[in-house]
Structure 1
């Protein structure tokens, strides 16, 4: 499934990105299990947030450049968060999981048992 910006109804302002949740995400990522020695960047985008970080493992970028880690979009119609992982070979975002709360999404992103995000 390709990630696309989910739009709010025309009469409602977009809830994301916002400064409050941006700071919550920054704080939560300090508790991640993998690649604790890199400083990720959280970028507000239409409908959510994108996380990028230096590729210290050189698994994705042999030069060690900045790579996409995760995409988090809020679907206001269904009231759920969608977490996408980057398929670096195809250069596309793939739906990984959905959550009813941002904190649940961040818990999954921080543990990342399948190394879908912190590669």
Structure 2
């Protein structure tokens, strides 16, 4: 009985991360408003993507090392994107906003009017 129940459970693979969307994010970051003179990197994580960049402002890392900028997670159940920013003092990710589409989340990240991401 238990084995029959377990075999009926549909295991849905993660749609993210994938190479196509990682490349889309990399291309979109080229149109950001802040710190255009550094080259951020996009790495994959379970369910999404992490964006990190050298810290040219020295606000977060006095030595100009690599710092977390944003975390994009895809919520498959709600079919939306969650955009997180890093609270560097606490070392924690904080939910910034949710978006129905990836380009909308990237617009928010690239504009960053309050300097919450590109610090």
Taking structure 1 as the reference length, the TM-score comes to 0.91
Per-residue Cα deviation, 1:3-25 (whole angstroms, up to 9, x for no partner)? xxxxxx95211000000000000
Return the index of the structure with the highest Cα Rg: 2
Task: Give the corresponding residue for 1:65.
Answer: 65
Relative contact order: is structure 1 or structure 2 higher (C-alpha 8 Å, sep ≥ 6)? 1
> How many angstroms apart in 2 are the aligned matches of 1:11 and 1:46?
15
> How many angstroms apart in 2 are the aligned matches of 1:29 and 1:60?
20
Task: Give the corresponding residue for 1:84.
Answer: 84
Taking structure 2 as the reference length, the TM-score comes to 0.91
> How many angstroms apart in 1 are the aligned matches of 2:52 and 2:96?
17
Q: Secondary structure at the match of 2:60?
A: coil
Quickly say closer, same or farther: Cα 1:79–1:93, change in 2 above 3 A.
same
| Structure 2 unaligned spans of 5+ | 1-8
Quickly say closer, same or farther: Cα 1:86–1:10, change in 2 above 3 A.
farther
Task: Give the corresponding residue for 2:12.
Answer: 12
- After TM superposition, the runs of 4+ consecutive aligned structure 1 residues lying more than 6 A away are none
Task: Give the corresponding residue for 2:5.
Answer: none
Q: Secondary structure at the match of 2:105?
A: helix
| Structure 1 unaligned spans of 5+ | 1-8
Task: Give the corresponding residue for 1:52.
Answer: 52
Per-residue Cα deviation, 1:21-65 (whole angstroms, up to 9, x for no partner)? 000000000000000000001001100000000000000001110
